[in-house]
Structure 1
């Protein structure tokens, strides 16, 4: 699995973001009417278990696969990569795309309502801690 922990994020935060990314990827796959096996075949993976691992938040999609996934899931490459960046690398996303302060950043794209987050505490604590840490990092670099 491709891994790249983001500077300033805890393991729990990284895991929470990857789970959210996995739910988003699953929603795209289901919207496209594909099984995990069909998606794996469409993007050139021999085993569907890689798709399962991504959707379960147990890995990160390698950048070399972005185009294949975007095409298979029928989503523009720019939109696909930009959304993944919000989950995989929120600090870089903020630096590139947000004009307002981190506290005013747009929420992450919706994940399916039938897939609840792990716990409410993960969501609230993770988001507030991430935003506070991001604001501190930006202030340090000014």
Structure 2
């Protein structure tokens, strides 16, 4: 298991890259997330404070990043044991992008065909992605 500092710095480095590319100022991001002061954004970027779990959806929206992937990053780094339990009970989280792909597959593959031809469709999808 990684040490706490290394985990904090992975999240902080990610946030620093994303915040620096954002079109919003740190003050605007803080306001969008309901933080009382923009200093918290600097503290998140430096890794001197952890991302509050309850702020993950608001931060993801403000930074235009996938909330599920951000949740995974935060939980795996800050609370790995709790994350393992969540995955054990609910399964691997599905990002918004993955959900859109599943929806597309359901539209393209005729109802009932996937169950009867799983390997066929799996191979077709693999071939399409490799080309």
Aligned to 1:57: 47
- CA RMSD between the two structures: 2.2
Higher RCO (CA 8 Å, separation ≥ 6 residues): 1
Superposed counterparts of 1:1-142, under 5 Å: 13-93=3-83, 96=87
How far apart are the structure 2 equivalents of 1:23 and 1:34?
A: 18
TM-score (norm 2): 0.56
Q: Distance in 1 between matches of 2:23 and 2:83?
A: 29
Quick one: distance in 1 between partners of 2:10 and 2:25? 19
Structure ID, larger Rg: 2
How much has 1:61 moved relative to structure 2? 1.3
Shift of 1:92: 4.3
Between Structure 1 and Structure 2, the one with more helix by share is 2
Aligned residues: 87
Q: CA deviation at 1:82?
A: 1.0
Q: Write the distance in 1 (CA, Å) between the matches of 2:82 and 2:30.
A: 28
SS of match in other structure, 2:29: helix
Secondary structure of residue in 2 paired with 1:71: helix
Mind listing any 5+ residue stretches in structure 1 that lack a counterpart? 1-7, 98-142
Residue deviations 1:43-95 (CA, integer Å, cap 9, x gap): 12121111111111111111111111111111122111012122212344456
Instruction: Name the SS for the 1:47 alignment partner.
Output: coil
TM-score when normalising by structure 1: 0.52
Partners of 1:14 and 1:50 in 2: CA distance = 19
User: In the aligned structure 1, how far is the partner of 2:19 from the partner of 2:75?
Assistant: 18
